[in-house]
C-alpha cells in the first residue's frame, strides 16, 4: 500500500465471486488459457475460497500472487498436487529489512510457508521488486537461494504508478543486474534458459543449481511486442496494458446483461504498441504521464 493509504471504493464497485466467474467464462470462450488473481492481497478477500473453487472449474491454468502471510490457511495451495500456482512477493531475505519494507513482522511466517510448499514438492516463484539502496545489495543472495531450492526468483524493475514515489534513479536496469550476476558467477556458469513466446521474464540458472532466476525488465527492456496479458481491475474495468490510462468498463454492461465480447475485442485492438502509449523513456519517465495511471493497490486484478 502507498504510505498514505488508498481511496476506499464502495462495496458495490467491487466484483462479486459471481461477477468474476461469469466474466472469466467469457474470456475463456475467447481462448484465454491462464487466469491469475493478484491484488492487493487476494487471500484477504472474504470469499477467496469461493472464487478459487469457481475458477478451478474452468479449463484454464489458475494462479495467484500473494504476500505469503496467509498461505497456511489455504492448505490446497500448499499441497504437492495443487492445481493452483502460487507466486510469493518477497523483496528481501533480511528480517529487519522485511519489517522496514512491509511494516509487518511476518518474515518468519512467510519463509515458513515457502519452505512448506517446497517440502511438499511445489516449485515456488518469488517476485522481487529491485530498488537501489533498498534491496539491490541482495541480488546475489537471492540467486544463491536457488542453489538447493526448486525456486524461481524473479527480479522486477521498479515501475511507476501513482503515489509510489517512482524515480528511475532508484531503479536497477536489466543490464546492470546481468553484469553483477556474470561478474559473480564467471566461467560460463550463467546459463540462458528457453523463454516461451509470450514470456515477460528472461530466465537463467547457475550451472548445477536446483532453481533458476529471471528478469522482468519492463522499464529498460520492454517486452510489449510479445506480451499477451490483459487485466481486469478489482472494480471491473479492462486494462489492455498495465500502464494504459484507458480502461473499458465491463462490469456495468455485464450486470445489465449485455454481451461484453465486442467490448473486449475493441479494447484488445486499441492496445498501444509500447507501454500504454509511452513509447520512449522520456515519455515513460514523465510524471505528467506515468502518474495518471492508478496505483497498483487501486488497480488490483
Residue-level pLDDT, tens digit, the chain, 301 residues: 556 655 555 555 789 999 999 999 999 999 999 999 998 899 999 999 999 999 999 999 999 999 999 999 999 999 888 889 999 999 999 999 999 999 999 999 999 999 999 999 998 999 999 999 999 999 999 999 999 999 999 999 998 887 777 889 999 999 999 999 999 999 899 999 999 888 999 999 999 999 999 999 988 998 888 889 999 999 999 999 988 888 999 999 999 999 999 999 999 999 988 888 878 887 777 777 777 777 777 787 7
- Taking 3-state DSSP, the helix, strand and coil percentages for the chain, each rounded to the nearest 5, stand at 35, 15, 45
| Residue 293 covered by a domain | yes
* pLDDT at 157 (0 to 100): 95
What pLDDT does residue 12 have?
A: 59
The C-alpha R_g of the chain, in whole angstroms, comes to 19
For residues 243 and 36, give the distance between their C-alpha atoms in angstroms, rounded to a whole number: 18
Q: Which long-range contacts (CB under 8 A, 24 or more apart) does 196-204 make?
A: 197/226, 198/226, 198/227, 198/228, 199/223, 199/226, 200/227, 200/229, 201/154, 202/174, 203/152
Asked whether residue 6 is domain-assigned, the answer is no
CATH number of the domain that residue 271 is part of? 3.20.20.70
In a domain, 83, yes or no: yes
C-alpha to C-alpha distance for 266 and 50, rounded to whole angstroms: 31
The answer to whether 150 touches 210, Cβ cutoff 8 Å, is: yes
104 belongs to a structural domain: yes
Give me the domain span that covers residue 255. Answer: 11-299
DSSP per position, 142-182 = HHHHTSSS-EEEEEEE----TTS---GGG---HHHHHHHHH
Among candidates 62, 65, 42, which has minimal Cα distance to 53? 62
Which three-class secondary structure state does DSSP give residue 124? strand
Tell me whether residue 3 is in a domain: no
pLDDT at 275: 81
Asked if 176 contacts 116 with a C-beta cutoff of 8 angstroms, the reply is: no
What is the reported pLDDT for 118?
A: 95
How many domains are contained in the chain?
A: 1
Please report where in the chains the cell 474452468 appears, as a residue: 58
What CA–CA distance (Å, rounded) separates 127 from 288?
Answer: 28
pLDDT at 9: 56
Give a yes or no: residue 184 inside a domain. yes
Does 217 map to a domain?
Answer: yes
Residue 5 lies in a domain: no
Amino acid at each position: 500500500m502507498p504510505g498514505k493509504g488508498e481511496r476506499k471504493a464502495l462495496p458495490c464497485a467491487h466484483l462479486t465471486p459471481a461477477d468474476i466467474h461469469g466474466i472469466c467464462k467469457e474470456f475463456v470462450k475467447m481462448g484465454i488459457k491462464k487466469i491469475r488473481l493478484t491484488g492487493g492481497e487476494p487471500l484477504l478477500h472474504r470469499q477467496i475460497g469461493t472464487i478459487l473453487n469457481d475458477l478451478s472449474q474452468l479449463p484454464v491454468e489458475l494462479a495467484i500472487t500473494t504476500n505469503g502471510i496467509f498461505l497456511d490457511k489455504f492448505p490446497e495451495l500448499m499441497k504437492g498436487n495443487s492445481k493452483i500456482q502460487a507466486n510469493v512477493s518477497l523483496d528481501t531475505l533480511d528480517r529487519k529489512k522485511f519489517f522496514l519494507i512491509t511494516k509487518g513482522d511476518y518474515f518468519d511466517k512467510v519463509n515458513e510457508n515457502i519452505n512448506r510448499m517446497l517440502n511438499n514438492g511445489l516449485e515456488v516463484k518469488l517476485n522481487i521488486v529491485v530498488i537501489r539502496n533498498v534491496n539491490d545489495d541482495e541480488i546475489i543472495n537471492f540467486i544463491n537461494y536457488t542453489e538447493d531450492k526448486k525456486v524461481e526468483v524473479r527480479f522486477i524493475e521498479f515501475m511507476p504508478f501513482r503515489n509510489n514515489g517512482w524515480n528511475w534513479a532508484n531503479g536497477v536496469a536489466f543490464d546492470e543486474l546481468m553484469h553483477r550476476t556474470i561478474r559473480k558467477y564467471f566461467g560460463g556458469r550463467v546459463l540462458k534458459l528457453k523463454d516461451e513466446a509470450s514470456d515477460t521474464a528472461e530466465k537463467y540458472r547457475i550451472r548445477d543449481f536446483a532453481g533458476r532466476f529471471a528478469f522482468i525488465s519492463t522499464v529498460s527492456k520492454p517486452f510489449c511486442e510479445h506480451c499477451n496479458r490483459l487485466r481486469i481491475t478489482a472494480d471491473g474495468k479492462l486494462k489492455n496494458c498495465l500502464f494504459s490510462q484507458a480502461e473499458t468498463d465491463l462490469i456495468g454492461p455485464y450486470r445489465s446483461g449485455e454481451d461484453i465480447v465486442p467490448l473486449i475485442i475493441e479494447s484488445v485492438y486499441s492496445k498501444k504498441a509500447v507501454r500504454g502509449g509511452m513509447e520512449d523513456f522520456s515519455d515513460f519517465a514523465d510524471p505528467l504521464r506515468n502518474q495518471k495511471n492508478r496505483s497498483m493497490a487501486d488497480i488490483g486484478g
